[in-house]
Amino acid sequence: MSFENILLEKKNGIAYVTVNRPKVLNALNMATMEDLRAGFHDIKNHAAIRVVILTGAGEKAFIAGADIGELAKNDAVAAKEYTHRGQNVLNLIENLGKPVIACINGFALGGGCEIALACTMRLASENAKFGQPEVKLGIIPGYGGTQRLPRLVGKGIAMQMVLAGETITAQEAHRIGLVNEVTVTAELIPRAEAIAAKIIANAPLAVQYAMEAVNRGMEMTLSEGLYLEAVLFAVACATEDKKEGTTAFLEKRAAVFKGK
């Protein structure tokens, strides 16, 4: 499968997705969003892929935001379609059933920050910058920024970022819980690969169910979330992987999981 605006490579159980428009700081246009949709659907259906690493080409930007030239042409009807299509892609990333690690190198602004928010976890290089500057253009975040950001960092901090439109550093993003870790640029992908290797060593269905419990549970009351957790725990206990995992532990050997 070939794409115009992204690169997709698969090796050792990892899919590497790179937004590849460095001349425009990897800005998101609809063609790029369509490439991401197709690429992540391909990954979702590829059983051998266990983890995704998502990044941007070059060292200046992860994704610097939307393609403003394209956005400026939208009327209300087109803008609604534009937003829904983008939200659907981010929902696909968030609920892929496989962890997606964002490796944020440089600017992650607007839609770029929103794509990072949809990922399972976020690693940032020391030069990364984050922001939701849409109010400076007379609009608001449209790819989930008003919803995922407060859920991640809290309402007050999210309001400050969205209303002031300020750009924050990687270090500040780490302090407020927007990113998991900050590292030097050269170690960004290797660090993601190290985390991916630990995930790949675990039972595939258990990883999938754990992600579902967290993602769905965030939208529920505590009692509803606990019920969901109990149901998914029971389902996990019916898998071959559970039998293999517990047997391997008791026999003091490494487990060999099959995702069944």
Enumerate the active-site residues: 114, 134
**Dihedral (CA of 45, 48, 50, 54) sign:** negative
b (16+ CB within 10 A) / e for 196-205: beebbeebbb
Q: How many CA atoms lie within 13 A of 17 on its CB side?
A: 28
Copy the structure tokens of residue 223. 């009692």
**What would the two tokens of residue 60 be?**
């200046």
DSSP 24-75: GTT-B-HHHHHHHHHHHHHHHT-TT--EEEEEESSSSEEE--B-HHHHTT--
DSSP string, 128-156: -EEE--GGGGT----SSHHHHHHHHH-HH
185 CB-side CA count, 13 A: 13
CA 233 – CA 218 distance, rounded (Å) = 17
Residues 6+ positions from 175 with CB-CB distance below 8 Å = none
Q: How far is CA 169 from the centre of its chain?
A: 19
